[in-house]
Structure 1
């Protein structure tokens, strides 16, 4: 099969398209014929081993832990393990498939779910990591309720476009922060107010928010807290740029320390691969609450070019690789 592999840490140029063996599946796994895979900031972190501290946290010390890159995928089940129930060959699925930048990927059976019938494979591949992160940040960690004032920093990005829609669906009044070219997009997906960061710093405004979801990490903690209500919640979701030693880990640890001394809730957004979240997202998609925003697609051979675009931090929604 064709696959994008990485033998060492580095920029997108280290990626190669090669012929390699099909993944072997275990009794609790499925083999997925990948039709589309999404690119995430997660992927360039894995590609570069960045921040450096992440290499001590399971990314790999001297070389990438996973030879074939990618995590988000949508496709058809090709084969199932002996213990798998509820899935069979031919089923259309989406979810978390390590090694997704390939024609075939192995996935744990409980990490993929049936693809919503109304989505293309490209749209479905754009859902897992970004939409689950947004759901967790807005619904679970932020505990957003009807009437809340919610601000999403990075509202036009992968997580941000989902977060705006989810917060609006919960009855919040949403303010999205984005660049000039994305103002209309952010309004169209449910933001009541939009702050153009090229013109105005949202932390300088007189407005105060019950919940801030920060997907960018470009404002100091003290300024973010200034934009919160006295008992508001700040949800930190990564940020940073390539080439950092600690990246977003430093600001997150600082927030953990400060949280013990203030009335505001300063929270780190945890990462996980959760079947229940995939099913909840499926429900939101099927009832029309949630729609994936796909910026552009690249063929598998051009995955490195797609990652360069994601690294620049200006994608409108999700960037997707088409495989077959």
Structure 2
């Protein structure tokens, strides 16, 4: 259950940047932590209740204050970051190494769509060594991570196929996909196409079936997806890790990590016009429950963002 509450300002450590939050993105991890499901999430975030009562990781705003050890930022700088202290708030303190200057050509709302989803997509494609001449496929291509995965693969020179519901096909083409598969009509694992890399964000096909869609030495990147109440997508990731040494293809579970250098790289790509954050809807912070419900409905193109 979520509720608005007055809490004290965060403590600013010597290496921290205190950000006055203007906007915060809604991500799958927020829903996992709120519900405590899959149960494996509780091992990291608290068994009976969350260790950190405020959720939210994607923040964009203005520097309010800096610790004495901070060298790259000053009060008033527009920034964005991935927070581990709860971004659904007016103020959040983030270690300097995880903060980057906001791209000059976007506002705080669009910047808040970037950190978790775009760094996940960037780190995923690095696992697959994606570059020019490669043909890649993205499941969940209309979502937050999927949309960035499509754009980043195109920026890297790859040919991109996106998988989504047919009603979202034009959106996926508009963000750069060369080909679109409507999963309600066609199955990308039916062996009619072979891909150098598959970025699986949905987990609605078995590992064996997805391998049929890969070239003999292709790479499957596994991130998020569905699963049971106990292990959720983690059970699938464990199976892929155990299988990987015995197959010619690469089965690569992705554990995305906060990385300020990756955010700086994304700033460069956004300012160059090669990546454009897509925001479906915005909500005031007090409507966070509505935003999470809409997110979980699956009817979103790109990202949902809360304004503070």
TM-score, L = length of structure 2: 0.97
The alignment status of 1:249 with 2:234, answered yes or no, reads yes
Q: Is the 8 A contact 1:96 1:111 kept in 2?
A: yes
1:43 shift after superposition? 0.5
Aligned partner of 1:220 in structure 2 is 206
Aligned partner of 2:38 in structure 1 is 51
Aligned partner of 2:16 in structure 1 is 29
Q: Is the 8 A contact 1:162 1:290 kept in 2?
A: yes
RMSD: 1.1
After superposition, give the CA deviation of every residue in 1:159-205 in whole Å (9 maximum; x if it has no partner): 01111011111111100000111100111111110001111111124
Aligned partner of 2:188 in structure 1 is 202
Question: 1:155 & 1:307 partners in 2: Cα distance?
Answer: 19
After superposition, give the CA deviation of every residue in 1:7-31 in whole Å (9 maximum; x if it has no partner): xxxxxxx100112211111111121
Aligned partner of 1:129 in structure 2 is 116
1:312 shift after superposition? 2.2
Q: Is the 8 A contact 2:109 2:307 kept in 1?
A: yes
Aligned partner of 1:310 in structure 2 is 295
Q: Is the 8 A contact 1:157 1:314 kept in 2?
A: no
After superposition, give the CA deviation of every residue in 1:126-157 in whole Å (9 maximum; x if it has no partner): 0000000001111x101112111100000000
What secondary structure does 1:34 align onto?
strand
Question: 2:203 & 2:248 partners in 1: Cα distance?
Answer: 21
Give the one of 80, 87, 94 matched to 1:107. Answer: 94
What secondary structure does 1:19 align onto?
coil
Aligned length: 307
Question: 1:252 & 1:310 partners in 2: Cα distance?
Answer: 23
Q: Is the 8 A contact 2:191 2:212 kept in 1?
A: no
Aligned partner of 1:93 in structure 2 is 79
Give the one of 133, 137, 140 matched to 1:147. Answer: 133
Misfit runs of 4+, over 2 Å: none
What secondary structure does 2:304 align onto?
strand
Q: Is the 8 A contact 2:24 2:306 kept in 1?
A: yes
Question: 1:240 & 1:101 partners in 2: Cα distance?
Answer: 25
What secondary structure does 2:204 align onto?
coil
Give the one of 159, 173, 177 matched to 2:163. Answer: 177
